[in-house]
Structure 1
Amino acid sequence: MQPTFVLVHGAFANSFSFAPLQAELGLLGHRSVAVDLPGHGFGASFSRAYQAPQDPAGLATAPGSIKGVTLADNVAHLLGILERAKENGPVILLAHSRGGATVTAAANARPDLIDRLVYVAAWCPVDLDVGEYYAEPEMATVDAGSLGLALAGNPAELGLLRVNFRTADPAALEAFKAAFVADGTDDEFLTFLNTFQPDENLDVGTSADRAQAASWGSVPKTFVRLSGDASMPLAMQDRLIREGDALTPDNPYDVRTLDSSHLKWLITPGPAARLLGEVAALTSRSS
């Protein structure tokens, strides 16, 4: 039976990010559903202060629907979708970037709902919490201040992280392009940037949400390395693979690589769709 891909987005993103990939998957005969985590997609907040002409003072103080949303909320929402998808056959749960934290916690909670995990340059914390990895040598090349160039408001006061992705500041735009899609055109970069939402929740999990051998470790898993990723450098991706393999040596990652920045694989999705088709074939044979 053909599996269903359940696709989980990263920070500031939403289900819209996966539209080109879903089109390619559909043309190859694969079912997929793209998830909007709580406070994302049509559940996001876009204040009038975010529109043009922008009101910086209003943007810094406007409330956001994602305030108070936790990793546990994300997991509960995702589990409901997985339960429905599982009724129709095998499920391949795919995470990109920050979405990996939610997917890992979901696999800890209900491995029975997942036939394969796929991490595309996504966080799968094993030895450290997600936030702690940012202080590690593998992340030394990441421009941690790039989001700060367009930060709007005080996260502690807002109860969320808000970034003005509609900024016209040349320095901020240059930093964003370098971080997200250095291998894309300016038009591709700006188009993708305009699918981002300004708000993200503050909870990326604690040690209790790290991968657990008995549950997460029982699910077959694939890690898709993005060789040109500046947001999650290849050195960190490889470290996460090593840590996962050490946790479950009898169930190591199936490792694959795409020549892509953090976002280009979603903009030009043909290679990723073909790769995922190969992963689906593995899952179909084992189901």
Structure 2
Amino acid sequence: MTDPTFVLVHGSASNSFTWAPMQRELALRGHRSLAVDLPGHGFGAAFPVAYQAPQDLAALAAAPSAMAGIGHADNVAHVLDVVRRVREHGPVVLVGHSRGGLTLTGVGNAAPELVDRLVYISAWCCAADTPAGYQASAENASSALHHVAGLIAANPTELGALRFNWRTADPELLATLREAVLADGTDDEFHGFLNTLEPDESLDTGNELADAATWGRIPRTYVRLTADRSIPIALQDRFIADADVLTPDNRFDVRSLDVSHAGVLVRPGETAALLSALVKE
């Protein structure tokens, strides 16, 4: 049987570049991988001049966003096209991190025949409620992301997109953000990670729920990150439980790693070993 290709889907304000360490670790274990840039990301992202140093915060708030009008359906269509092309060369393991899980579910709903396994790494998996519903749930109440609203650099409604200032110099805000995404990392790792992020992200998460008849046929794994303070472990466990209720005959294969939200990207060796073991099994 042909070895599978890992297709890697990034999370919010991110891009394919953040998967480079993971791809290195997978390659060293003999695996093919392809990291996707969702529409408006990677070298397709816009970086307003006002975002550079020295920053002009008023101009940054007013600069148009290339993400305006790009939404969940565009992400799903883009990844479907990638997966169709990759599938010509053998099996596909579709991996999503964080908000990338929303795209995984959309692809699984639309074309289960193209995907041999779905892997959610502390990723959104909406089976019983919308993203907004899960966001407002009790299971998400402890998310440290509730305390970083100061990163928002423009009015989302006026801009038609979310805009973040990852280059803020506010020490309290940076400390809170580090606690949220990389509490188990060094200062240099945290600052390096921030410099891979993009200022703009789509407002539209969609309202798509997992479809038992299509998505529900695909073998799936959920990698719980027990040190994640962005997507609390309680919310990760609810994603798993709701999905298992939807398809009790095809439950999540659940694995756990004691790693932070961004730790899987910054130091991916343990996660790559887990992914490698999945396909060997």
Alignment TM-score, normalising by the size of structure 2: 0.98
Q: Deviations over 1:195-232 (max 9, x none)?
A: 000000011111xx100100000000000000100011
Could you tell me how far 1:279 is from its partner in structure 2? Answer: 1.0
Give yes or no for the alignment of 1:243 onto 2:242: yes
Give yes or no for the alignment of 1:26 onto 2:61: no
For residue 158 of structure 1, what is the aligned residue in structure 2? 159
CA RMSD of the aligned region, Å? 0.8
Give yes or no for the alignment of 1:134 onto 2:131: no
> Quick one: percent identity of the two aligned structures?
55
Q: Report the Cα distance in structure 1 between the residues aligned to 2:115 and 2:217, rounded to whole angstroms.
A: 10
Q: Report the Cα distance in structure 2 between the residues aligned to 1:141 and 1:106, rounded to whole angstroms.
A: 30
Q: Report the Cα distance in structure 2 between the residues aligned to 1:234 and 1:145, rounded to whole angstroms.
A: 15
Could you tell me how far 1:151 is from its partner in structure 2? Answer: 1.1
For residue 183 of structure 1, what is the aligned residue in structure 2? 184
Alignment TM-score, normalising by the size of structure 1: 0.96
- Structure 1 contact 44–64 (Cα < 8 Å) conserved: no
Long gaps (5+) in structure 1: 283-287
Q: Deviations over 1:37-86 (max 9, x none)?
A: 00100110001100000011110011121111010000110000000000
For residue 205 of structure 2, what is the aligned residue in structure 1? 204
Could you tell me how far 1:137 is from its partner in structure 2? Answer: 1.1
Structure 1 residues 144 and 180: CA distance shift in structure 2, 3 A: closer
Could you tell me how far 1:183 is from its partner in structure 2? Answer: 0.6
Number of equivalent positions: 280
Q: Report the Cα distance in structure 1 between the residues aligned to 2:183 and 2:123, rounded to whole angstroms.
A: 18
**Amino acid in the other structure paired with 1:47:** P
Q: After TM superposition, list the pairs within 5 Å mapping 1:1-287 onto structure 2.
A: 1-206=2-207, 209-282=208-281
Q: Report the Cα distance in structure 2 between the residues aligned to 1:244 and 1:97, rounded to whole angstroms.
A: 16
Q: Deviations over 1:128-151 (max 9, x none)?
A: 101111211111111344341121
Structure 1 residues 12 and 163: CA distance shift in structure 2, 3 A: same
Name the SS for the 2:144 alignment partner.
coil
Name the SS for the 2:38 alignment partner.
coil
Q: Report the Cα distance in structure 2 between the residues aligned to 1:135 and 1:75, rounded to whole angstroms.
A: 24
Structure 1 residues 144 and 22: CA distance shift in structure 2, 3 A: closer
Name the SS for the 2:178 alignment partner.
helix
Name the SS for the 1:5 alignment partner.
strand
Long gaps (5+) in structure 2: none
Q: Report the Cα distance in structure 2 between the residues aligned to 1:151 and 1:253, rounded to whole angstroms.
A: 35
